Structure 1
């Protein structure tokens, strides 16, 4: 997922320095900001070089999918797609991501892109609340080969516009040399874990929002605020974004941090001590954050866009995306490398809220959390 460029570039010793010098591109954004900022400006990060006479497929995505300092799926996908299809794949990375297209649609400006890679449930809700009409087209499984192979548990769009292509799971990462993480949410409240947990602000972080939603799943709408009050009493530290919390964890400020269950993939690749990168699924669960792709309703090249979606669902392409994006594939038969399969931990029970459950509730839940957390 998007935090990979932070870990790989920072390394164990350089985490703090990188956080201090982060650019405007958030590593842990994932559409997690609740604000609808103005999206004036032009699209940036576009790959150029269209051969004369060939078709052009324009695909929008988030920046690190294309040019993270570690590894990114984008360049590999472009090379493989162009080697097979008589077309040039042109990546587009607008600074404000999906908000850029929401603003264009609101202004009645033509959408000159064919597809979008990197959608999540919250983004779709934002689209549907702010766009009068269709921004994305529903995907006909007959037009997109491999559509039916996507794991049913990852589906998050009731209108069948977004096609999942990978997913991440939010879990605890802990240093077993300093503490043994509890097995349950209630365990985090025990006195021996006072001050041991680092989390993220759900108003500005995808991981923080996922952890908040997991606590709502575990404690219910009527109980999650009381649970967070008890977490505060036990010294939980809530920092801004994922990179802030992970930097504090890497610097030894606390033995547990809310992060991703693929953490050992990074640690193994960097030769780090895996005892400092243990994974805990509270209550045997982890919150799933699938990412999806969709074709714009007014795509200039709809047939080519469908071919691209089909290409992205091929088992060998799914495996490559999973490794380069450090996430789990959306299909069951992707041929993952042995080391990735060994170190990427998958929960016994993934949990998530549906589109219908989040629509109209997410902002209310988050605002109530923020109000209480600030007052305590």
Structure 2
């Protein structure tokens, strides 16, 4: 996920930002002659949320295979980036948009910003991720799970078992321990709200949040503040002296803590409450009005190639969706597999998202 994403790589946000800039390609236009005699751009522009990243060598491989250079245009978080593409529908800022997830998918599709295209290699992506299979307006690229993370040391020092399920979080022993993100401003915050909708249904999620509020849940604007400032278990949290040992983050956050630990720990200092998760899938699509439609199609093909899929985990801290793509060892050793995440259908999200967020805001923030 998205936001994407936002993912726990922001433990060292500065380092990842530098890596992302290095992975953007040179952005220069290289013009050649198309069969029609008209100039054909040899640059394909990918519009994305801020968390898109790829190894420079992998993007060079795409350039070598196709002759197209990738230019990446980052546009804030996933919601802000999508809003800009809706506003510029028909005259997009690029050729391909990456980073719309299943919580916002219906909004993108209803606004008609994508050209249908069935990417080569899509047969290797399980149907569970192909949420627009009938029309192929978007291509699934990655998945991740929004979950509560916990500070192992905090619970070990107090000989208190960490919570496992959503039900656990409202128990007295976990009072004043959880920090989450605002569901109206944050992708993981919205995902956590949807986890409770998926678990307790339309008739029960409000009662659950009433109990969670009474149990002292803290709400902040976004993931960066929650994880790196308020959470006691992160590298950023230690510097900021966060005092909340429970935080809404991602199932991929513990491997990131190992990867960027100084010194690198043998065991992840954080864990995942596996019964609190919501499954997030991110998509990419060819933008309506793309100046380089052929290059955009080639890029979508590449995004679900094994080469790119196996590069993603350590670049964006998400899981590949292609069947045979392998996870890096640090993921398999320190990560967790969420067997039964909560889900909500895109149609249900489309129909109820604004209502749910509005009700959540009135219930939790007022």
TM-score range, shorter chain: 0.7 to 0.9
Per-residue deviation, 1:239: 1.5
| CA 1:275–1:329: 2 relative to 1, 3 Å | closer
What's 1:320 paired with? 311
Of stretches 291-300 and 49-58 in structure 1, the one that deviates more from structure 2 is 49-58
* 8 Å Cα contact 1:288-1:352 kept in structure 2: yes
SS in 1 for 2:281: strand
Q: TM-score, normalised by structure 2?
A: 0.82
| CA 1:63–1:183: 2 relative to 1, 3 Å | closer
Per-residue deviation, 1:75: 3.7
- Asked if residue 50 in structure 1 is aligned to residue 13 in structure 2, the reply is no
Aligned-partner Cα distance in 1 for 2:245–2:266: 14
Structure 1: tracts of 5 or more residues without a match: 12-21, 23-44, 66-71
What's 1:88 paired with? 69
- Asked if residue 62 in structure 1 is aligned to residue 49 in structure 2, the reply is yes
Aligned residues: 326
- Asked if residue 155 in structure 1 is aligned to residue 133 in structure 2, the reply is no
| CA 1:156–1:351: 2 relative to 1, 3 Å | farther
1:109-136 Cα distance to aligned partner (Å, 9 max, x none):
623522111111343333345x3xx320
1:298-322 Cα distance to aligned partner (Å, 9 max, x none):
3233233222111111122201022
Aligned-partner Cα distance in 1 for 2:277–2:103: 18
* 8 Å Cα contact 1:46-1:93 kept in structure 2: no
SS in 1 for 2:107: helix
Q: TM-score, normalised by structure 1?
A: 0.80
Per-residue deviation, 1:219: 1.0
Please provide the CA RMSD for this pair.
Answer: 2.4
Aligned-partner Cα distance in 2 for 1:328–1:313: 12
Of stretches 202-211 and 252-261 in structure 1, the one that deviates more from structure 2 is 252-261
What's 2:59 paired with? 78
Aligned-partner Cα distance in 2 for 1:120–1:362: 14
Per-residue deviation, 1:164: 1.1
* 8 Å Cα contact 1:316-1:335 kept in structure 2: no
Aligned-partner Cα distance in 1 for 2:182–2:314: 28
Alignment of 1:21-60 (within 5 A): 47-53=26-32, 55-60=42-47
Per-residue deviation, 1:232: 1.2
Per-residue deviation, 1:357: 1.0
* 8 Å Cα contact 1:112-1:300 kept in structure 2: no
